[in-house]
């Protein structure tokens, strides 16, 4: 689905068009991977990711949205998720789904003449107009496009609770299913998505990715591969090869397995001699699962990630929920062994990659992402972004500007407050009067509200809000997702 109008990308970037591989982990925290202080120190060595960091760029201020669907919508469209009505995790049976009018990363690469594929988790809807193959992708193989990795447990938990009285095989026949599709075509069922399939799924997705790379190289066609695999998402059921490899249980095993799969993709590029012709991104969609999914199996060990020095987990809007890892590697173009503390949003990848490959961006809608190629090519230490907004459902709940974070909703910090359940189950309520203000550099854990001391620190975030509100006058958002209010309000 293309846009009504388009702007040409910078001429400078059109000289060389690399292949692009985007590998997206799921709910892996800032403190989980080796180059951010995790890895071996976390009990789960990540040697291939460590190598990728040495060979490319590490972002230390990579910012995302609070949960899976919102972050993936922001990545694909270069817009805040709320602009596409996707600011909550999709729940099957609700109206939340990607519009056919959306412009996606798949659309951009397809229009630029690239072969395109996605293997893994889409999570932007299963309606015909919402499928990746309706948005520029030639191939799709993965889990149901309106659910996540935990749907592999649905049949077993239905049988456990006897919520639906039916023979197990009948429940299995109803799904969920691994599915596939080709450009413009419908979904086809491949096999039931069970815990056993869940444990080995990343092996399948990586093998299909390597096969796609080889096929496109043989055809002499540039390619865009999107590999959103399962590493990090509960239940972290490791494959037979990696079960018991780490020192911290299933979560660590799956970290090590995902690291191995990243290495397999990099090895395939080297073996084909296209290593220097391929830009590879490896990032996480949001902060880690925490206490809300602490006991999701895992042999009595916590199935949860680590936010590093920051507070927060999946579903919250605090720093540890929306800051995670990202690496960018393109030998000969992106300088090796570099680190940038520039503020870089997940939305920035679409305009940045469009600039690099000579793709076109729409001019008939607000694009919240910015071209950050100057960060990639070490031409700027600060980049083109100073602020970022965070939405949960219909609400603007927080804003960042430089090192300042402002909260407009009183979200209980992880693990405390009148209820213990944080993250996806956290309690929140509007605040009367003044917002809360934190300085992320002085206080990474967000323990001290400094609004009374640095009152002027809220001015920058509020300007970000003002600019966003101004954009709504010509481009109002669709109805925001809401599955607690059924009064049509």
Domain segments of the chain as ranges: 6-387, 389-472
Q: Which residues are catalytic?
A: 68, 123
Q: Which residues of the chain have pLDDT under 70?
A: 1-15, 292-295, 297-300, 411-432, 487-489
C-alpha angle 187-192-198 in degrees, rounded to nearest 5: 105
Please tell us whether the domain made up of 389-472 is placed in CATH 3.30.1120.10. Answer: yes
| Phi, psi for 170 (deg, rounded to 5) | -70, -40
CA distance to 12, 329, 442, per residue, from 140 (Å): 32, 25, 44
Helix axes 250-271, 47-54, angle to 10 degrees: 50
| Two tokens, residue 4 | 């009504």
Mark out the alpha helices in 55-182 (DSSP H runs): 68-77, 105-111, 154-161, 168-173
Averaged confidence pLDDT in the chain: 90
Torsion of CA 391, 469, 475, 5, to 10 degrees: -90
Please tell us whether the domain made up of 6-387 is placed in CATH 3.40.50.300. Answer: no
Tell me if domain 6-387 and domain 389-472 are identical in fold. Answer: no
pLDDT of residue 11: 34
**Prior bond to 57 cis, omega within 30?**
no
Q: Cβ-count burial of 313 within 10 angstroms (0-12 exposed, 13-18 middle, 19+ buried)? A: buried
| Two tokens, residue 290 | 């925490």
Query: Among 249, 238, 234, which residue's Cα sits nearest to residue 293?
Result: 234
pLDDT of residue 481: 84
pTM of the predicted structure, to 2 decimals:
0.93
C-alpha angle 328-332-336 in degrees, rounded to nearest 5: 50
**Prior bond to 457 cis, omega within 30?**
no
Residues 6+ apart with CB under 8 A from 147: 90, 92, 123, 176
| Three-state DSSP state, 33 | coil
Mark out the alpha helices in 153-230 (DSSP H runs): 154-161, 168-173, 195-219
pLDDT of residue 14: 39
| Phi, psi for 465 (deg, rounded to 5) | -65, -45
Q: How far apart are CA 141 and CA 206, in angstroms?
A: 11
DSSP E strands in 11-145: the ranges are 19-25, 57-63, 115-120, 139-142
pLDDT of residue 416: 45
Q: How far apart are CA 82 and CA 73, in angstroms?
A: 9
| Two tokens, residue 197 | 């399939």
Query: Among 262, 255, 229, 258, which residue's Cα sits nearest to residue 329?
Result: 262
Neighbouring C-beta atoms of residue 393, cutoff 10 Å: 17
Query: Sign of the CA dihedral 213, 131, 286, 13?
Result: positive
pLDDT of residue 486: 74
């Amino acid at each position: 689905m293309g846009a009504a109008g388009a702007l040409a990308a910078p001429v400078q970037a059109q000289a060389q068009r690399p292949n692009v591989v985007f590998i997206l982990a799921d709910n892996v925290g800032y403190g989980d991977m080796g180059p951010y202080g995790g890895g071996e120190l976390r009990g789960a060595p990540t040697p291939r990711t460590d190598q990728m960091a040495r060979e490319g760029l590490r972002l230390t201020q990579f910012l995302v949205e609070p949960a899976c669907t919102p972050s993936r919508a922001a990545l694909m469209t270069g817009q805040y998720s709320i602009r596409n009505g996707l600011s909550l995790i999709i729940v099957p049976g609700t109206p939340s789904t990607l519009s056919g009018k959306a412009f996606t990363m798949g659309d951009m690469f397809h229009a630029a003449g690239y072969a395109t594929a996605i293997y893994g988790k889409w999570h932007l809807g299963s309606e015909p107009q919402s499928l990746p193959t309706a948005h520029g992708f030639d191939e799709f193989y993965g889990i149901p496009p309106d659910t996540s990795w935990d749907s592999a447990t649905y049949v077993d938990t239905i049988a456990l609770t006897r919520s639906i009285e039916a023979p197990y095989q009948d429940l299995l026949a109803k799904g969920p299913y691994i599915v596939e599709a080709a450009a413009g075509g419908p979904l086809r069922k491949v096999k039931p998505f069970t815990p056993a399939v869940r444990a080995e799924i990343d092996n399948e997705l990586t093998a299909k990715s390597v096969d796609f790379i080889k096929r496109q190289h043989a055809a002499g066609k540039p390619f865009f591969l999107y590999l959103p695999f399962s590493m990090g998402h509960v239940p972290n059921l490791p494959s037979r090869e990696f079960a018991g490899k780490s020192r911290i249980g299933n979560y660590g095993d799956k970290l090590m397995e995902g690291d191995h799969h990243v290495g397999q993709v990099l090895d395939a590029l080297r073996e084909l001699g296209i290593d220097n012709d391929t830009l590879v991104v490896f990032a996480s969609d949001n902060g880690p699962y925490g206490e809300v999914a602490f006991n999701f199996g895992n042999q009595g060990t916590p199935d949860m990630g680590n936010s590093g020095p920051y507070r927060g987990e999946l579903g919250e809007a605090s720093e540890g929920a929306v800051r995670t890892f990202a690496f960018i590697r393109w030998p000969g173009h992106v300088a090796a062994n570099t680190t940038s503390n520039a503020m870089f949003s997940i939305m920035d990848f679409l305009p940045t990659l469009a600039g690099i490959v000579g793709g076109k961006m729409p001019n008939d809608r607000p694009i919240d992402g910015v071209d950050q190629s100057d960060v990639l090519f070490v031409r700027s230490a600060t980049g083109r972004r100073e602020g970022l907004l965070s939405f949960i459902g219909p609400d603007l709940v927080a804003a960042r500007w430089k090192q300042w974070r402002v909260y407009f909703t009183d979200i209980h910090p992880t693990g405390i407050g009148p209820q213990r359940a944080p993250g996806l189950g956290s309690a929140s309520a509007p605040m009367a009067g003044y917002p809360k203000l934190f300085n992320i550099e002085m206080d990474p854990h967000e323990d001290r509200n400094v609004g009374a001391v640095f009152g002027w620190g809220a001015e920058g975030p509020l300007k970000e809000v003002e600019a966003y509100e101004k954009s709504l006058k010509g481009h109002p958002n669709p109805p925001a997702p809401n599955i607690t209010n059924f009064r049509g309000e």
